[in-house]
Each structure stands twice: as C-alpha cells, then as structure tokens.
Amino acid sequence: MAAQEDGVVVDLAARRRAEPRSERVEAPASTPLLRAVYGEVLRDERLDQDRTLAEVATEVGMSKQYLSEIERGRKEPSSEMLHSICGALGLPIESLLFRGARRLGAIRRLHPRKISETRVQMLALVA
C-alpha cells in the first residue's frame, strides 16, 4: 500500500516491516475473547442464583462439562445455545449482551489501545 507524503510516494508496508516489533502495539493480550466474557456473565448469574452446573445443564439439556467449558470461555456456543442457557437462568439475552459489553468496555478503559506511529502517519495522510 502506498500513500503520498509531502509529494513523495511512501511504501507503508515497507515502513511497517522496518518498524521494530516492540513499536507495533496492537490490542492488549489481556483483552479477553467475547466467548470468555459471556461465559463469565453466565457463571456470575448462575452463582448469584446459588445454582449448580448440573442443575442448569439439566434444564438446558446439555452436559455439565459443556456448560463448564462455556462458562470458562473454552467453547463458543451458538446463539441458540446462549438463548437456552439464558432462558434457564431467567436472564434476558439482551442483559447478557449488555453486561458483556459493559465488561469489555471496562477492560478497554484499563488497557487502552495504542496506535503505532505508522498508523498515525497513514491516518494523517487520509485526513
């Protein structure tokens, strides 16, 4: 990809390759996957209700091992499965989405994304 900088064509890909890896800052490694965040919300809700994995899993019709993997963020359930788990917990799916988004927002505020110098220059050229 090339961009024009002060009348000179700049190869941004070459510049990025030349930039030391330590300067390339992307999303922090501590940003969890969405499935992990939803799993935490589901686990917190289940524990708040003093219910066991076995109780909720039986109501949903899945194994407690699978539900445990969902709660730990190791499995990515389908939207239908999330809906069933939420139904068993009496948790509206909208609440799961909202609480998950709120947790991700809090994590992002704690670990703001830094933009590399190359990206700053590229954005400046576009603006």
> Closest by alpha carbon to 90, among 33, 44, 49?
49
Residue 78 within a domain? yes
Residue 25 within a domain? no
Local mean pLDDT, 10-residue blocks, the chain (127 residues):
53 55 46 88 96 97 97 95 97 95 77 71 75
pLDDT of residue 119: 74
The Cα–Cα gap between 38 and 97 comes to 8
Residue 68 within a domain? yes
Does the predicted model carry a pTM greater than 0.75?
no
CATH of the domain at 41: 1.10.260.40
Residue 44 within a domain? yes
**Measured CA distances, 77 to 87, 89, 112 (Å):** 14, 16, 28
The Cα–Cα gap between 43 and 91 comes to 12
The Cα–Cα gap between 92 and 34 comes to 18
Residue 85 within a domain? yes
Residue 119 within a domain? no
Residue 18 within a domain? no
Residue 117 within a domain? no
pLDDT of residue 52: 97
The number of folded domains in the chain is 1
The Cα–Cα gap between 10 and 16 comes to 11
- Please report where in the chains the tokens 């948790």 appear, as a residue: 91
For residue 84, the enclosing domain spans 34-110
